[in-house]
Chain A
Amino acid sequence: MTEAAIRTNGLTKYFGDLAAVNGVDLEVNAGEIFGFLGPNGAGKSTTIRLLLDQLRPTSGHGQVLGLDIRERSLQIRQQIGYLPGDLSLYPKLTGRQTIDFFARLRGGVDMAYVEELAARLDADLTRKVGEYSSGNRQKIGLIQAFMHKPALLILDEPNSGLDPLVQQTFQEMLREVRTDGRTVFLSSHTLSEVERVADRVGIIRHGRLVVVERVAELKRKAIRRLDFEYSEPVPEGLFAGVKGVRAADIHGVFAEVSYEGSVNAVLQAAMTHEVVNLHSRDADLEEIFLAYYRDTEDGDDPKGDTGRPAPSTSKDSSHVQ
């Protein structure tokens, strides 16, 4: 397949005066796992619902699997699996009735595969949806999205409510989809949820796609944080001049260090005193693209909120309409 699984040109959606999605040019290759990252309210779900024809764009165009999102939505929906963020199901149906209902709307699916998915996710299909934990509800949603082996999976915050063990299984399932040559479009508000599986990520903020980058590259640029606790108060300048350190905040026995790149130099500096406890924190999305702006624009306007899409790896896709 040469065509992109998802392609948008200047996709824009206004709610009143608010641009929830603003001129998004997105290109997701067939056969990749694409992470769609952004803080809550950045426009991830709105973008997805535009692709599904649940919302109508104010301007711009989009194609999914080579089909126009406005004109050919029915054909698109035949070929995709979708898990909404904030999933709601019919509370009076059991898990199995729910799956059956959606399967019949698709004209039938391979029920043996449904059973296999349910077993892998350890999903309970017997009780009513209203009695489920949010985790089990999410599993029903995932089975429903995967069960017809769609060419494209669009998953909006799929990890919510899943315990770590199930998340691992879920990530295996995503890799298998990729091995099959199918495509996954995965939205999340945390990098850690997608960095293990995604090939590339796009970051959306205030409705604008600010960067599309390979995950490895993004992680290299990401700022991470270590919090140290010492047995005795340490000098203020402990991390001054250490390679990669962006900031160090020291209060008595506590030190909070932000750094990028290799952790070695930070640890070497830290261990010149007796460390009692060590805690690492996830890279914050906000910090990631702040770092991105610093690196690509030579410290020019670190706020990064100029509305300019960053010079990203996403090629300016030629219009195909």
Chain B
Amino acid sequence: MSSELLTHELRHRRNGTVVLGLTLAGYAFFAVAISGSLRQTVDNLTKNMPQGLKAFVGSNVPGGYIVGETFTLIAPIALVAYAVIAGSSAVAGEERDRTMSMLCAQPVTRTRILSAKASALTLSLLAVTALFWAGMALADLAYGSQLTARGLAAGVTHLLFLGLAFAAIALAIGAATGRPEIASSAAGGIAVAAYLSNAMLPLAGMGRWAELSPWYYALSSDPLRNGLDLAHLGVLTGLGALAVVVAVITFRRRDLKG
């Protein structure tokens, strides 16, 4: 019975997943393709910048500016935006669309409904990041880049865990309120504030404060260069797990809206 719910959720997520995954894969492919010729120009532009600013611009990563932009800006923002939108509508969207009333009248518990939705979100984000990874890996084969296979896998994994954490936060707010617009604006607001604090606070010499931001745990360990940082991934996992627990508890307790 739960597998049926999961299948239903995956079917619902299929198009968004494929479109975003292919877009990111295509973008990644072309980013690597043009990065070789741009590298010299960007290096000249940024060589006198302080380290913090270089990090902000994204020029100090293997593969140079374009790959840096892809990993620190484009891909995580696209992934987090998708995670927030999909997460906030997972439970609350059914209430907005008034389909929840039928779903919850079936012999399935709310916990099962929520876990099917959380699993589908996880698989969807996993598929998006896998496609993104494939685009990068293909381009590396075709054009060559300074990325190592290990670094690429680690960078993509960090992005996946960042996406999962924000999807879980959005899911929890939606599950607690039944209002997708509240969930997406709250979780989206948190994501933007966290992104800015992670990017800006180090420039202002307040690097420690950036450790409050989930983005810090996705990017600061420089996974493209240094590989997986299990402690940082652990923090993102803990954050996501906590959000899912909150989602289950609040969703089980409250009145359904639609």
Interface positions of A (Cβ within 8 A of B): 49, 52-56, 74, 77-78, 80, 82, 84, 86-90, 92, 101-102, 104-107, 141, 144
Contacts and interface: CB of A to CB of B under 8 A. Distances in A.
B245 interface: no
B107 A105 contact: yes
Interface string B92-110: 0000011111101111110
Contacts of B105: 52, 54, 77, 80, 82, 84
Given A74-B107, A88-B97, A104-B4, 11 more contacts: A53-B104, A54-B256, A80-B105, A82-B105, A84-B105, A86-B98, A88-B102, A90-B99, A102-B102, A105-B4, A107-B1
B107 A78 contact: yes
Nearest to B98: A88
B5 interface: yes
A56 B255 contact: yes
A121 B128 CA distance: 43
A49 B106 contact: no
A88 B99 contact: yes
7 contacts: A54-B256, A74-B109, A77-B105, A86-B98, A101-B8, A106-B106, A144-B102
B52 interface: no
Given A54-B256, A78-B107, A82-B105, A104 B1 contact: yes
A92 to B, nearest CB: 8
Interface string B76-104: 00000000000000000000011111101
Contacts of A90: 12, 99
B258 interface: yes
Contacts of B109: 74
Most central of A56, A89, A101 by chain B CB within 10 Å: A101
A86 B108 CA distance: 22
A55 B1 contact: no
Contacts of A89: 99, 102
Most central of B99, B105, B258 by chain A CB within 10 Å: B105
A223 B253 CA distance: 45
Contacts of A56: 253-255
A87 B102 contact: yes
Given A88-B97, A88-B98, A105-B4, A54 B104 contact: yes
Contacts of A144: 102
Most central of B99, B100, B107 by chain A CB within 10 Å: B107
Contacts of B1: 104-105, 107
Given A55-B256, A56-B255, A84 B5 contact: no
A141 B99 CA distance: 12
Determine the interface band of chain B, counting residues with CB < 8 A from chain A.
20 to 34
B255 A54 contact: yes
Nearest to A103: B4
A79 to B, nearest CB: 9
Contacts of A106: 106-107
A90 to B, nearest CB: 6
B232 to A, nearest CB: 38
Nearest to A107: B1
Interface in B152-189: none
Contacts of A84: 98, 101-102, 105
B27 to A, nearest CB: 27
Nearest to B254: A56
Contacts of A49: 101, 256
Contacts of B256: 49, 54-55
A142 to B, nearest CB: 12
Contacts of A82: 102, 105
Contacts of A74: 107-109
Contacts of A107: 1, 107
Contacts of A101: 4, 8
A124 B160 CA distance: 43
Contacts of B253: 56
B255 to A, nearest CB: 4
B245 to A, nearest CB: 20
Contacts of B99: 88-90
A107 B12 CA distance: 21
Contact of B101 (A54, A77, A92): A54
Contact of A52 (B12, B104, B108): B104
A53 B258 CA distance: 13
A105 B104 contact: no
A102 B101 contact: no
Interface string B101-122: 1101111110000000000000
A74 B101 CA distance: 14
Nearest to A52: B105
Contacts of B107: 74, 77-78, 105-107
Contacts of A86: 98
Contacts of A105: 1, 4-5, 106-108
B205 to A, nearest CB: 49
A88 B257 CA distance: 13
Nearest to B258: A88
B178 to A, nearest CB: 11
B147 to A, nearest CB: 39
